[in-house]
Structure 1
Amino acid sequence: MSSNYYQFFVRQIRKPLINKTQSQLPEDAVLPISFKRYNSSHTIWASEDDEEIDISQPPVLTAKETITKVPRAELLSDRRASTVLMSEVLSRMDVPERKQKVILKDIFQVLESTTTELPIHVGINRITFRLGYIRDRSNEMIQRVTNESMATYEARPIPASKSFIKDLERVSLDDSDNVKESCVICMECFEVGVQAIRLPCSHFFHEECSVQWLMTSHLCPLCRYPMPCEED
């Protein structure tokens, strides 16, 4: 039994340009909008003795496209044309129409509030969940199950508790060892000075990526370490 679930983020790196404010941005300022589509999977195989094999595959980039030539002012002044333009990109990436509306709303919010000319990143991750059942617990069967392609499971992920999300540990990345890596949620590289979240399992993620992820799943996207959730 399987189903697909979509996660997404819309963010702009918080790195203001010197002496640039929102009102000072030139009318012809172009803010590239980078769209990236990922596929990931999560499978739980259950056995007769109630043991479980939990198999996850990290996000894999499957499509990317960037809008680079439309000025920010034009995107905001002609929302109908802008919506059509961005919807066409999302449709080419097989993003359902019902999800597009929410993503477009967030893009316009970033466009309206931005104070920089830095790119806007839009990431869409289609997570496939699956629940399977195995009678044979032999190593050969377990290996075969592990190697199978992932589909999905009907149950929605359990979000982390609101109090946990509110009290997340925020750190400024000034350690060269940390900035060499990428955030596995959005697949973008860390930059020195950017504020990040450090989860209890010691993995780092962008602040906005972490919050959006934990609002839908209480598991670390890298190691599946469980965070406190509303059911706890």
Structure 2
Amino acid sequence: MASTTMFPHLCEAWQPQDSVPEETLLQRDEFLVEIYANFVYVRMGSDDADGSNNPHISPTTYKPFRYSRDHLIRDTTSWSTISSMLSQVNVPYHVQPHMIRKIHEAAQSIANASVNKDLRTLPMVVSIRVVQEVAGETLPVPVVQAEPMSARASGAGVASWSSIQALEKVKVGGSKEKCVICLDRVMVGSEAIQMPCLHNYHEECIVNWLQRSNLCPLCRFPMPM
């Protein structure tokens, strides 16, 4: 049994019941997001069934964020905003898409709840567990340097060639699929390239685009540079 099946990635997001009283918060239409992240490191190729692999669980990483409400609930900005938060607590890119969707859905639910209609600041707690396999006899805790938000927001730089090559090819099923780069329709049954944010493009279009910018043309999801 693979080690990572014993400790799957997890992401849960919710509105805390014991939230900070409204009068103590900044009077803005915003989210106060508190992220708690744990990292589980397991030895590559080990079988947990015999008890030979004792995982190393890192201390909890905590970081609060304040963002405009629209940045988290709008489809055009939520992916890049949430990805920026996850990167700042060292969540790797390859496990972010599922977590981004969960956080985005929770933010929309909280924002649309009738009990929150008079709140200017909406609190949200995000609990994350990331599992990583490491080689060797020991289980080190690698330090991942998060890219500064200012650089990510500006879109400076281009996507790395390895990240471009790793993009998934998918069969297009919808008749209204359009490549927003060339504005031509992506034909049903043809192959398209899918970004981690699940937006599809013609292969030539998105490869050329990512050689000039590391951001998805639709939602600004950042690819590794």
Tell me which interval the TM-score lies in, with the shorter structure as reference length.
0.3 to 0.5
TM-score by length of 1: 0.39
